[in-house]
Amino acid sequence: MNDVQLGGTRIIPVVALPDAGLALDLGQALWAGGIRTIEITLRTPAALAAIATLAEQSDLLVGAGTVLTAEQVELAVEAGAKYILSPGFSSTVVRRCQEVGVPVIPGIATATELQAALEAGVTTVKFFPAEQLGGPAGIRALSGPFGQVKFVPTGGVSLANLAGYLAEPAVLAVGASWLAAPDLLASGDFAEITRRSTAAVEVAAR
């Protein structure tokens, strides 16, 4: 269920897209930089249309983020999302994903939430907000009692600290917004999105 193939690069750009018309240019810019997956957050009205566009017209593995309700699970999957992410843990969201048969990566911030996720049958979780929760050391600490869990740290991950996260054996991939930052999307600076992607993929390949 949770064996999401995160495109090999272990880097998930987390994107709040202001306009679905940007989706294809964004997808191409990320792909050119070696990125193979994307998390489109349901934080903007453009999100579902952007998911549909990228699912149909790009080779990126498209995930839907900030999924907070069972209805949003359905809408995201209908639009073409191949995996679902949430900032926190909701047994309702997880159950709907399991019923629909789509991999889900819920967020956790504590050992208690992680136990709830395990009880719900989830073994891959988002660690959010990662930097504020202690970064790689926080993940290492949770990995002691929860050795079977894979983490997707998100929140405060940057080019500067990326290598430290990826060096953790329990880290499946990281999520981060700096690759396709809001100011780059607003100004249409897709070349910079490719540059940032290339730099991140280079670090991940080391």
Ligand X SMILES: O=C[C@H](O)COP(=O)(O)O
Residue ranges in contact with ligand CC(=O)C(=O)O by CB under 6 A: 14, 41, 65-66, 85-87, 128, 154, 175
Encoded tokens for 69: 């309700």
Choose the stretch contacting ligand X; rule: CB under 6 A; options: 50-58, 149-157, 159-167, 193-201.
Answer: 149-157
- Exposure string of 186-206, with b = 16+ CB inside 10 Å and e = fewer, is eeebbebbbbbbeebbeebee
What residues are annotated to the active site?
39, 126
Question: With binding defined as CB under 6 A, does residue 155 bind ligand X?
Answer: yes
Report how far residue 138's alpha carbon sits from residue 7's, in angstroms, rounded to the nearest whole number.
25
- Within 10 Å of residue 19's Cβ, how many Cβ atoms? 13
Q: Which is nearer to ligand X, 98 or 156 (CB)?
A: 156
173 binds ligand X (CB under 6 A): no
CA distance 111 to 95: 20
| Nearest residue to ligand X, by Cβ distance, number only | 177
Nearer to ligand X, 80 or 156 (CB): 156
Region binding ligand X by CB under 6 A among candidate stretches 50-58, 113-121, 154-162, 188-196: 154-162
Of the ranges 2-10, 52-60, 169-177, 194-202, which one interacts with ligand X (CB under 6 A)? Answer: 169-177
With CB under 6 A as the contact rule, the residue among 2, 72, 86, 154 that binds ligand X is: 154
Cα(50)–Cα(41) distance, integer angstroms: 10
CB neighbour burial string for 37-54, b if at least 16 within 10 angstroms, e if fewer: bbbbbbebebbbbbbbbb
Q: Which residues contact ligand X (rule: CB under 6 A)?
A: 14, 154-157, 175-178
